[in-house]
Chain A
Amino acid sequence: MDLPGPIHEILVLFLGFVLLLGGLGLVLLTNPIYSAFSLGLVLVCISLFYFLLNSYFVAVAQLLIYVGAINVLIIFAVMFVNGSEWSKDKNYWTIGDGFTSLVCITIVFSRMTTIPDTSWYGILWTTRSNQIVEQGLINNVQ
């Protein structure tokens, strides 16, 4: 969307924050129905992200397909197999859970430090060179 600069930034930050909350709720909530609704929140948030990125068709397609069909199907399946009865016992974190948490946090920090530092300019230049080659071929044909 062609919003003014600060509103765009604020919306991106807000949506990212809600997205993180929804993702954490999806992973950490014990009741499967709560995590299914949290998945719905994540899907709606990403659809709003797509609106901000000027890709309107994918945003509406995502709203219709993901939220309207897949989320409903998941909630239907969770209610069909009596999902909320399986969460009555408290689940304690095992040592394996702690280890996977450590590994995942390490992956997050390594990605957050390496992605801004890589030079995407090299990749950009290869895609640009493909387009230059295509332009040359088209000019030769004509």
Chain B
Amino acid sequence: MIISILGIWGILLNRRNILIMSMPIESMLLAVNLNFLVFSISLDDMMGQSFASLVPTVAAVESAIGLAIFVITFRVRGTIAVESINCIQG
């Protein structure tokens, strides 16, 4: 879907701020969910709809934990530019 490619493009473009980078990830998950539903409707299979109600759960949990980590990082370091988050490096 075009929305998933827009999400990939959004991640690659908005690299200055890690908080903005989490939003196109949500849109990619959304595009995959839409794909699941459309194929479930057209192929007359119920597995697609039951999976499409589990995917937002995963997305919600992942975005909540990610945002919590970003906010605490900002509080500790005072900046959320991507270049300055290199604790793991080295």
Contacts and interface: CB of A to CB of B under 8 A. Distances in A.
A81 interface: yes
Contacts of B22: 74
Interface string B1-21: 011011111101110110110
B6 A77 contact: no
Interface string B51-76: 01100110110011001001100100
Interface of A: 19-20, 23-24, 26-28, 32, 35-36, 39, 42-43, 46, 49-50, 53-55, 57-58, 61-62, 65-66, 69-70, 73-74, 77-78, 80-81, 83, 86, 91, 97, 100-101, 104, 107-108, 111, 124, 127
Given A27-B24, A74-B22, 16 more contacts: A35-B20, A49-B34, A50-B34, A55-B49, A61-B53, A65-B56, A66-B60, A70-B60, A70-B63, A73-B63, A74-B63, A77-B19, A97-B13, A100-B13, A108-B2, A108-B5
Interface of B: 2-3, 5-10, 12-14, 16-17, 19-20, 22-24, 26-27, 30, 33-34, 37-38, 40-41, 43, 45, 49, 52-53, 56-57, 59-60, 63-64, 67, 70-71, 74, 80-81
